[in-house]
Amino acid sequence: MSKENILPFYMIYPLPLAGQEEESLMRDLEYMQQLYPADAKKYQKKIAAVLDTIDYDGSLIYDEYPCRWQMYRLCQSVLAILRREAQDGKEEISAEKWTWIEEMVQILLYYEVYKRRHTNKNRIKPVELLEKYR
């Protein structure tokens, strides 16, 4: 055997169904998202609206390691929108509940960023990676 014909061990047994498994996983996660309680759905919609404004190539949400401070600022911008809507609706929300809401928004924000990173049409697919090294 010549050195040109030797393949690394991970390329000998490629995973042809890896993309299909990921699509199935994302469909399942989106279905579970539909089962969220009403408040969580409301927060999710606001988070999606904020992320839609910064969802572009080179965005901070697609960084290999997103900056913790920038993610915190995104969370704070969603909370500002929610606070403004609560004030406009004359809704009284206690400080303890705002603490809970902030934590819920952080969790939902990280989940939405994760979902967008893995469903982005420009991500590197395993098949493309294998083609690159042939």
Q: What is the pLDDT, as a whole number, of residue 67? A: 93
- Our count of domains for the chain comes to 1
3-state secondary structure 18-83: HHHHHHHHHHHHHHHHHCCCHHHHHHHHHHHHHHHHCCCCCCHHHCCCCCHHHHHHHHHHHHHHHH
- Give 37-74 pLDDT, tens digit per residue: 999 999 999 999 999 999 988 899 999 899 999 999 99
Q: What is the pLDDT, as a whole number, of residue 81? A: 95
Domain hosting residue 51, numbered range: 37-132
Tell me, yes or no, whether 75 lies in a domain: yes
Q: pLDDT band for 123, please (50, 70, 90 cuts).
A: low
First to last CA, the chain: 16
Cα separation values, 40 from 21, 43, 58, 109, 116, Å: 27, 5, 28, 11, 18
Tell me, yes or no, whether 111 lies in a domain: yes
Tell me, yes or no, whether 5 lies in a domain: no
Tell me, yes or no, whether 29 lies in a domain: no
Tell me, yes or no, whether 12 lies in a domain: no
Q: pLDDT band for 13, please (50, 70, 90 cuts).
A: low
> Is the whole-model pTM more than 0.85?
no
Tell me, yes or no, whether 118 lies in a domain: yes
Tell me, yes or no, whether 8 lies in a domain: no
- Give 77-122 pLDDT, tens digit per residue: 999 999 999 999 888 889 899 999 999 999 999 999 988 888 865 5
Tell me, yes or no, whether 1 lies in a domain: no
Q: pLDDT band for 7, please (50, 70, 90 cuts).
A: low
